[in-house]
Amino acid sequence: MTGRYLQIDKVRMVFETKKGPFCALEEISLDIRSGEFVSLIGHSGCGKSTLLNIVAGLLEATDGHVLLAEREVTGPGPDRGVVFQNHSLLPWLTCFENVQLAVERVFGAAEKKAAVRERVRRALELVQLGHAQHKYPHEISGGMKQRVGIARALSIEPKVLLLDEPFGALDALTRARLQDELMHIVAATQSTVLMVTHDVDEAVLLSDRVVMMTNGPPATIGGILAIDLPRPRDRIALAGHRRYMAPRAELLEFLYRKQMREAA
C-alpha cells in the first residue's frame, strides 16, 4: 500500500475546442509512495499543470482515474492541499484569516475555536510568518504571500500536497530560500508532494523522483528519473557534487535535446 499511495492510472485528457477535440494528455500512469516528493517537469504548455489539476479534482480526466489512499478522486476536496502559482490569497482577509478559512472548513466542526486558532498559528509559524499573521496580502512581499499559500495548504493536514509552480513568480534569491524552507517543512511533516516545475535545479534539489513530460500534444511521460541524494540536502554542498550534476545533466539533455521545441 505504501508503494501506491497516490495512483494515477492511464489518465487521458481531451479538451473540446472550436477546432475539434484536443488531446492534451495520453496514457499517464504514475504511482507515488507515501512521503515521496515527485516533480513533474516539462516545457510550458505540455500539460503538467493539467495533470496536477486532475489530481486536485479541478479537472475531470476524460479516461482513466486517480486513486488517493485507495479512494477514487471524483472532485476537489480538502484531502489534497493545493498551492497555486499566484498564491491566490483572498485580499480582504489577513494572512491569519486566509489560513483560518481552510482550517475552519476541515477542523471547525470537530474542534473548538481555540484549537482551530492554534492550528492556524502553528501553520503560520511553520512557514516563519507568525509575526505577519495580522497583515493583509497586499502588505507583504511575493515570497511571504507564497508562504501563506503553503501554510494554508499544509494547515488542513492533507494526504498529499500539490504544488503548481509554487516559486515560479519569485526572484531567484527568494526562490532558493523558499525551496530550502519547503525541504525543511516536508521533512518535518512527512508530506507526500506532487510538484509542477520547469526549473531543473529545483526539481533535482527537492525531489525523490522527477517525471519528465514529453512536449505533445498529446503529452505523456517521457521518463522518470530517481534522484539518489541523501537528505537533508544542502544546495551549496551539492552544487558541484557528481551525484547532483548527473541527474541535472540528464534532465537538461531531455528538455533541451530530446524535447526541444522547434519554434521556441
Partner 1 sequence: MNAVPATVRTLQPPLARAGHADESAKLHPAMNQASSAAEPPPYVRTRAPEWLPRLLAPVIGFAMFVLLWQILAKAGGRLPDPLSTWHSALEVFGNPFYKKGPNDQGIGWNVLASLGRVGVGFGMAALVGIPLGFMLGRFRFLSDMAAPIVSILRPVSPLAWLPIGLMVFKAANPAAIYVIFVCSLWPMIVNTAVGVRQIPQDYLNVARVLNLSEWTVFRKILFPAVLPYMITGVRLSIGVAWLVIVAAEMLTGGVGIGFWVWDEWNNLNVRHIIIAIFTVGIVGLALEQLMILAARRFSYE
Binding site for partner 1 (CB under 8 A): 56-58, 75-78, 80-82, 84, 86, 88, 90-93, 101-102, 105-106, 136, 138, 156
Grid cell, residue 110, equals 470537530
Q: Which is nearer to partner 1, 106 or 132 (CB)?
A: 106
CA distances to 25, 110, 194, 215, 262 from 37, rounded to whole Å, are 22, 30, 6, 23, 31
Q: Which of 91/232 has CB closer to partner 1?
A: 91
CA–CA dist 123, 220 (Å, integer): 36
Whose Cβ is closer to partner 1: residue 11's or residue 156's?
A: 156
What the block records as the C-alpha cell of 227 is 534522484
Q: Are 88 and 30 in contact (CB under 8 A)?
A: no
Q: Are 148 and 129 a contacting pair, CB within 8 Å?
A: yes
Distance of closest approach, residue 147 Cβ to partner 1, in angstroms: 16
Smallest gap, in angstroms, from Cβ of residue 87 to partner 1? 9
Tell me which DSSP letter residue 140 carries.
S
Q: Is 14 or 101 the residue whose CB approaches partner 1 more closely? A: 101
Q: Which is nearer to partner 1, 54 or 210 (CB)?
A: 54
- In whole angstroms, the minimum distance from the beta carbon of 93 to partner 1 comes to 7
Question: How many angstroms separate the CA atoms of 38 and 21, rounded?
Answer: 30
Q: Which DSSP symbol is given to 139?
A: G
The distance of closest approach from Cβ of residue 68 to partner 1 in the complex, given in angstroms and rounded to an integer, is 13
What minimum distance in Å lies between the beta carbon of 198 and partner 1? 20
Q: Give the Cα-Cα-Cα angle 144, 145, 148 (nearest 5 degrees).
A: 90
- For cell 528519473, name the residue: 225
| Smallest distance from partner 1 to CB 75, Å | 8
Nearer to partner 1, 143 or 158 (CB): 158
Q: Which is nearer to partner 1, 71 or 231 (CB)?
A: 71
> Closest separation between CB of residue 23 and partner 1, Å?
23
Residue 158 class from Cβ within 10 Å (0-12 exposed, 13-18 middle, 19+ buried)? buried
CB-CB contact of 156 with 78 (8 Å): yes
Alpha-carbon distance of 177 to 205, in angstroms, equals 12
